[in-house]
Chains A and B, each alone.
Chain A
Amino acid sequence: MSTPDETIIEVADLRKWFRIGGGMFSRSGVDVKAVDGVSFSVRRGEILGLVGESGSGKTTVGRTLLRLTEPTDGTIRFRGQDITHLPKRAMRPIRRKLQLVFQDPFASLNPRMTVGRIVAAPLIVHEPRMGQAERAERVAEMLQMVGLLPGHAGRFPHEFSGGQRQRIGIARALMLRPDFLVADEPVSALDVSIQAQIVNLLLDLRARFSLAMLFISHDLAVVGHLCDKVAVMYLGRMVESAPTIELFANPRHPYTEALFSAVPDPDPEVRRSRIILSGDIPSPINPPSGCVFRTRCRYALPACAGDVPPLRNVAPNHQSACIRDDLALQPAM
C-alpha cells in the first residue's frame, strides 16, 4: 500500500486570506492575502524546502496544510484523500500522520510537564489504552533515537539546552511514526554549532523512516544542504520551484537570484557580485498589481504590472513565475 514513490502531500492552489479591521458585527475590513495560490507536492522520503523572507506566507502554508487554520480556497490531499474540509472528528486519525516541529524550542514544550510526559502526549491522545509500561518503553526508545538518554524522561524542559529541547520536540513529533513532517524553521533559533546537529538528525530520521518533509526556512544554505527540491515564496505567492541543484545552478526568477546574492558567504575569497534590492517587501494588504516582486526587481518591464504571471514550466520540473525568458541570472555560487 505504501509505494516508495507515493505522493504524500499534494497542495493545489492553496489560499489563506485573513480579514483585518472591521468589528464583530461589521462586514467591512480588508483581506490580507497571506497565501495566494500555492501548489506543490511532496513524495515519500522527499524533503521540500519552502524559502522566503518574513511576510512571504511560508509559515501560514505549513499551518494551513496541517489544518491548524482553515484554508480560504484550494485543496489539500494527504495520500490521495482530500482533507481540505474534513471535519474535526474525521481529521483526528489523520493528525497522527501529519506532524509539526516548531521554531522555538522554548515555547513549544509545556514547562509544567516532564519530558517523558511531553513525548508520551501523542500516545496518550491517540492510544489511550496503551499501558504505562509500554508507553514508558516507547518514550525511552524515542528519546534514544533523537540522541537523548531514556533517563531524561523524568526531567523538565528548562533543564535542557536549546538543541536538546529541539530534539525533544522532534521526538514528540515522530512518536506516532508520521508520514509527513512540517519543520517550521527548526534550526533558526539555535546556535550555529548546534544547528548542524539538528540538520544531521533530520537527515538521519528521514532516511530511517522515509519521512516526507516540508522544511520551512529563510536560510538558503541550510535548505540547500537538506532539501531535495525548493520552492521560493514572495508575498504570499510561489515565484519559483525546482529541484535544489537545478534551482541553485540555474535560478530563473530575479527574486531567487537576489536572495542567493544576499547570503553572506563564510569565505572571504568568494565574492559574488552583490545585488542589493531596494526598499522593503510591500504590504500584503495592498500588494503591487501584476508580479508582486516588480517594485524591487531590476529587470522589471512595464508589462510586469499587468496580469499576475502564472508559474510556468521553464525546464523539466522547474517552474518560474517570471515573464522574462531573456535573463541570464547569477547562480547561487
Chain B
Amino acid sequence: MTPPPRMDPDALLQVEDLSVRFRSDTGVVSALNGVTLAVRPGETVALVGESGSGKSVTSLAIMRLTPSPPGCEVGGRVWLRGTDGRPVDLLALPGEAMRKVRGDRIAMIFQEPMTSLNPVLTIGEQIAEAIAVHRGTSRASAWNAAGELLELVGIPEPRARLATYPHHLSGGMRQRVMIAIALSCDPALLIADEPTTALDVTVQAQILDLLRRLQKRTGMAVIFITHNLGVVAEIADRVMVMYAGRIVEEAAMRTLFQAPRMPYTVKLMRSVPRLQIGGERVALEAIPGSVPDPTNLPPGCAFAPRCSHAMEGTCDVVGPDLEEVQPGHFVRCVRWRELAGGTAR
C-alpha cells in the first residue's frame, strides 16, 4: 500500500474526493460529491450543515458504515495514519481489519444514545465488553476499568451505576456512557455525530465541557458534526461548512465567524437568532427556499437557486471549485473575490 502523494505529514486522517451515491427506486441520490478534508491529531474539526448536506454521511463513509453495495457506492480514499505512522486506506481495508480500526483507532458517538445502547444489558456489561474486546483483558479488570471510565466521564457514584440499565439513565447520562464506551480503547479520532442535539441546553453545556476536558487529557482528534453554529463556536478549531454533499467553505473557526466568504455561510449566520438584550426587533434574515433534492441537484452551484448573489449564466451553469482565499481558508464560490468583506453581521 503506497502512501498518498500529498498526504499532509501532520494529518491523522485525510479524506480525498470521497463520494457516496445511494440508488433507490426514485433515482440516484448523490449524498456526497467529492469531499476532501484532513484532520490533525488533537484538533477538533466541525462539519456544519443542514439536513441533507452530507455531514453525517461523511462520517458513516469514513467508518465504512454506509449500507453495503449494490444499494450504495462509495468512491475516493480515506487515509488513516496507523499506530506505526503509516497511512492506510480504510476504504481498501478488508472487513476484519476495518473492524479493528473501528473502536480501536476511531470511535463514534451518535445523536440518540438510547438506540446505540443495548436495553437488556447493564451499562457495566456493555462498557466492559468493549474494553475486553479491544484490550483483550480479563473480565474482572475490564469491569474495574469500566468503573474508572464512568468516573472519567463524570457520572456520580460510578461503581454503583455499572449495574444499572440504560433506560434508568437520563439522556445526558446515556450520552456520557456512550462517550465512556468510545473512550474505552483510547481512540486517536472520535467522530461525534450531533451528540448534543437531543439534549437540553444545560446538559449540552455539560457534555461539551466534558468533551473538551477529555480531549485535552487524551489528545484525541474530534470530528464534530452539528447544525448548531453556537456549538461550533464553542468547540471547533476548524470548520467545514457543507451544503448538498459538498464542502462549500473551510476555515479556522475564528476566521470563519469573522470573515465568511461563501454567501451560504454568511446567510446561515445571519439567519440564526442570537441571545441578546432588547434593541429594535428586526426580522431575521431568512434564506428563501429549502435545500435541494439530492436526487436532482441543480447544475452549477447547488446554492445558486437560493443565493441573492447568483449570476445567471454563471452560477447556474458552472460548479465552482474550492479555491483558497488565504492559507487555510477555502471557499466554493465563483464570486468570492467581488463579494469580499461579507461579514456575518
Contacts and interface: CB of A to CB of B under 8 A. Distances in A.
Touching in the complex, A and B, CB below 8 A? Answer: yes
Interface of A: 53-54, 161-164, 191-197, 199-200, 203, 218-222, 224-225, 244-245, 248-249, 258-270, 274, 276-277, 279-281, 331-333
A248 B290 contact: no
B284 A199 contact: yes
Interface of B: 50-51, 156, 170-173, 200-206, 208-209, 227-234, 253-254, 257, 267-269, 271-278, 281, 283-288, 290-291, 344
A245 B206 CA distance: 27
A191 B227 CA distance: 8
Given A163-B290, A224-B273, A266-B232, A192 B50 contact: yes
Identify which of A163, A225, A270 gathers the most chain B CB atoms within 10 Å of its CB: A225
14 contacts: A191-B50, A193-B290, A195-B272, A196-B271, A199-B286, A200-B283, A200-B286, A203-B281, A219-B273, A221-B275, A248-B276, A259-B202, A260-B275, A280-B172
B229 A191 contact: no
A182 B206 CA distance: 31
Contacts, number: 146
A266 B257 contact: yes
A274 B205 contact: yes
B277 A332 contact: yes
A199 B291 CA distance: 18
Contacts of B281: 203, 225
Contact of A265 (B170, B230, B286): B230
Nearest to B255: A268
A195 B272 CA distance: 8
A307 B327 CA distance: 61
Contacts of B273: 195-196, 199, 219, 221-222, 224-225
Nearest to B169: A280
Contacts of B209: 274, 276
Contact of A161 (B227, B257, B286, B290): B290
A200 B288 CA distance: 12
Contact of A264 (B230, B287, B288): B230
Given A199-B286, A266-B272, A269-B257, 9 more contacts: A191-B50, A192-B228, A197-B288, A199-B273, A218-B200, A259-B202, A264-B233, A332-B275, A332-B276
Contacts of A260: 275
Contacts of B204: 262, 264
B45 to A, nearest CB: 15
B277 A200 contact: no
A194 B52 CA distance: 13
Given A163-B290, A265-B233, A266-B230, A193 B200 contact: no
Contact of B287 (A161, A196, A245, A280): A196
Given A264-B208, A280-B170, A333 B156 contact: no
Contacts of B173: 280
Given A191-B227, A280-B170, A221 B272 contact: yes
A54 B200 contact: yes
B155 to A, nearest CB: 10
B324 to A, nearest CB: 22
A246 to B, nearest CB: 9
Identify which of A193, A269, A279, A331 gathers the most chain B CB atoms within 10 Å of its CB: A193
B201 A218 contact: yes
Nearest to B288: A197
A263 B272 CA distance: 13
The 7 closest A-B pairs by CB, nearest first: A264-B230, A53-B200, A266-B229, A196-B286, A196-B284, A245-B278, A193-B287
A41 B57 CA distance: 47
A265 B201 CA distance: 12
Contact of A267 (B201, B274, B285, B287): B274
Contact of B276 (A218, A224, A261): A224
